[in-house]
Amino acid sequence: MHLKTTKKKARVEPKTKEPVNPSEQQDGDPKDRAEKLLLADIKNIQSFDLNKDGKIDKTELKEAAKVASKWAISTLVNSKNWFYYGAGKPVGPMNWEEIDKISKKYNDVFVSFSDIGTESGLKFWLPAKIIKQIQKPA
């Protein structure tokens, strides 16, 4: 509270709240939440290093967050468009429920999603645990 004076009379008004530090805000937007989760696990998103410089830059991180958010939404559709990486190659296609079971058994499993359900279009791989964390409400 602070005292505000005018020519008419003095009155007490609630002090306006200071802007919130972005790092303290709730992660309501899935892309923002995805970006924070990916940043915390940056070593596991090297498939997004599009310029092959060995570093994930801001543009690549944003692309990874966009893809991860899309994939998190795609988990809600019961289609066999998911693959996991096992025994040195993509395994699938399968639905998210099957991927979820595998990720419970193998916590560090990487997954990919294909719009057409074939492994020929697989470009990016992400840890399944990141997709699961993005799914959770903020």
Structure tokens at 40: 């915390």
For 3-24, what is each residue's pLDDT tens digit? Answer: 444 555 544 444 433 333 333 3
pLDDT reading at 113 higher than 90: yes
For 67-101, what is each residue's pLDDT tens digit? Answer: 999 999 999 998 999 999 999 999 999 999 999 99
What is the rounded CA–CA span in Å between residue 112 and residue 19?
38
Classify the C-alpha dihedral 118-119-120-124 as positive or negative.
positive
Phi, psi of 126 (to 5 degrees): -135, 150
What SS3 class is residue 68? Answer: helix
What is the rounded CA–CA span in Å between residue 55 and residue 50?
9
Domain boundary assignment for the chain: 29-135
Residue 79 region by backbone torsions, left for phi larger than 0, else alpha for psi between -120 and 50, else beta? beta
DSSP state of 105: H
Instruction: Give the Å distances, CA to CA, from 38 to 63, 89, 93, 116, 131.
Output: 11, 23, 24, 25, 10
- Average pLDDT, whole number, for the chain? 82
